[in-house]
Amino acid sequence: MSIIEIFRHKYALTRQGAKDLVKSSLASAAMDMVLMFPVGLLFFLVKDLMEGTPVSTGDYIWKVLACLLAVAAMEYIKYDFQFVSVYQESGRRRISLAEKLRRLPLSFFGKKDLADLTSTIMADAAVIETGTSHWVPELIGSMISTTLIGISLFFFDWRMALAAVWVIPIAIGIVLFSSKFQNRFNRRSEQARVALADSIQEGLETFQDIRANDAEAKYLQCLWPRIDLVEKRAIEAELAVALFVVSGQMILRLGVATIALVGALLLSAGSLDLVTFFMFLLVASRLYDPMAGSLINLGAVVSLGVQSERMDEILNHEEQLGVETLSNKGYDIEFKDVRFAYDTSETVLDGVSFTAKQGEVTALIGPSGSGKTTISRLASRFWDIPSGTITVGGMDISRIDPETLMGLYSIVFQDVTLFNNTVLENIRIGRKDATDEEVIAAARLAHVDAFAEKLPDGWNSLIGENGGELSGGERQRISIARAFLKDAPIILLDEATASLDVENETFIQESLSRLVKDKTVIIIAHRMRTVAGADKIVVLKDGKVDECGTPAALTASGGFYKRMQDLQQGSLEWNL
């Protein structure tokens, strides 16, 4: 495996990022070598003075200026390679992460905690950015320059060279030995931070319920131990690094003492001249400084493996792929012996088979947990099924690229997701190239104009994070307006009118009746009057199709559908 591929997998980089890391490491090594020029100049000046050689002040002034120019030029090159290129790679990394997340199956997000994903995308990416701009290039650069300088010392005196370099492999070995301990402590620290972030996020999202139930004290009582644990784990991780890094630096400093001791012995024995002894002492001042800093970087690079592993978990995850050419003939949706489970412990669908025909409304009903919403998610390939087939117009959807497939669907979920943008832009998500006139026309069909035109800035009013400035019914109407705007041949409605009052529900039902004409429609509802006009009703129970037929046929059969009708009719007669 080439050094480029090693860097790519080690630090979750693109190919260009790995190439830039090689360049920045070489630039760092070159910078360390250039910083030896003033040391060499000082050595030759002292040598001339000690040997009585005439010293030309002008020559040394020019040499000093040349050293300064070389240092400045190398510093500029190093900065460009080490920082500018890394920040460009950081942009590429975040874009590649976004592209990767876009192609991942929803099953991945179902298994991952939201706080954990957020930490990986934001915090881990920032740590890798710091690592590849500071720690890794400095470490590799110092190791290269130290190796070259160490080898060159052997050409002057092998005994003094050994006295100078023997401490380096021992110091590096001590820090490398700590990698297993560091990784363990860093993982524990990361787990504690993710758990804390999860608790804080949960508190922010449920603050209304916490306050409504007077549970603030209980929430904080659970939160404080997690804060303390983060602090404890951070201290443990820092101590794990410091213990080995400081030990390595102490060993490294013994090199100066060894040079002085061996040099003094050789001088007294007459086998070493004073100028060479001075040269080794002078070189040692530059030999150990970058290496001492690199030991800290080495500890940081070792800990960087945890972030890289978490990033690679996303980047290397299997994607949902498929062809980008549709081959369907019509828009009938057919489930054939479909089995599915979100995890291996519980089956959600067990051999489900039915057909939702184009030009008809197919309603899915059944008790909570029977698999209704799961069917709508599978029909649009939000998840892939392990057994059975799902086809649209005879086309197996598992072979179609998910984004291409989604062009066939307009979906209204029970849980609406809105963005902190204007009313118009939230509806325009249904079709990005739609004009304002087309967006407003779709919005009027969904009766969004009833509240949008009363907002301070009308259609251009910001609605807050996830539509926080709107009521539940208003948010639902924006979601329905998106479906009107997209006008796709397949409509999936998951409790589309659940948050609406009776008057608006009636208006929306009338609008929906125009939207669904000549299209394949699957509707999920708990209100029997909502599905009474459906062409076909599929009753789900315990993950299986319990009944299937027209409303009239199911009413006559006296099964689950008839019992649900009777129960809801009876609930209308309840009195408080």
Q: What is the pLDDT of residues 323-382, one digit of tens each?
A: 888 888 989 999 999 998 887 667 888 889 999 999 888 989 888 878 888 888 899 888
Q: What is the pLDDT of residues 112-138, one digit of tens each?
A: 666 677 777 777 777 777 777 777 888
Q: What is the CATH number of domain 3-314?
A: 1.20.1560.10
Q: How far is CA 379 from CA 386, 492, 502, in A?
A: 14, 9, 29
User: What is the per-residue pLDDT for 389?
Assistant: 93
CA distance 146 to 171: 13
User: What is the per-residue pLDDT for 390?
Assistant: 93
* 3-314 and 323-408+492-497+518-569, same CATH topology: no
CA max distance for the chain: 120
Q: What is the CATH number of domain 323-408+492-497+518-569?
A: 3.40.50.300
| Residue 72: exposure state from Cβ atoms within 10 A (0-12, 13-18, ≥19) | exposed
The whole-chain average pLDDT of the chain stands at 81
Domain range list for the chain:
3-314, 323-408+492-497+518-569, 414-487
> Range with the lowest mean pLDDT among 201-215, 384-398, 504-518?
504-518
At the fourth CATH level, which superfamily is domain 414-487?
P-loop containing nucleotide triphosphate hydrolases (3.40.50.300)
Mean pLDDT of the 257-270 span? 86
CA distance 262 to 245: 26
Q: Degrees (nearest 5) of the Cα angle 110, 116, 119?
A: 140
Is there a contact between 129 and 90 (Cβ–Cβ < 8 Å)?
A: yes
| Cβ atoms within 10 Å of 540's Cβ, excluding its own | 25
Cα–chain center distance at 474: 32
Q: What is the pLDDT of residues 444-489, one digit of tens each?
A: 888 888 888 888 888 888 888 777 778 777 888 888 888 889 889 9
Bridge partners of 364, per DSSP, are 524, 538
Q: What is the pLDDT of residues 404-453, one digit of tens each?
A: 898 899 888 777 788 888 889 999 988 888 899 999 998 888 888 888 88
> Range with the lowest mean pLDDT among 258-272, 359-373, 539-553, 557-571?
557-571
Mean pLDDT of the 196-224 span? 80
| Euclidean distance between the first and the last CA atom of the chain, given in angstroms as a whole number | 75
Give this prediction's pTM. Answer: 0.67
Q: In one letter, which amino acid is 116?
A: D
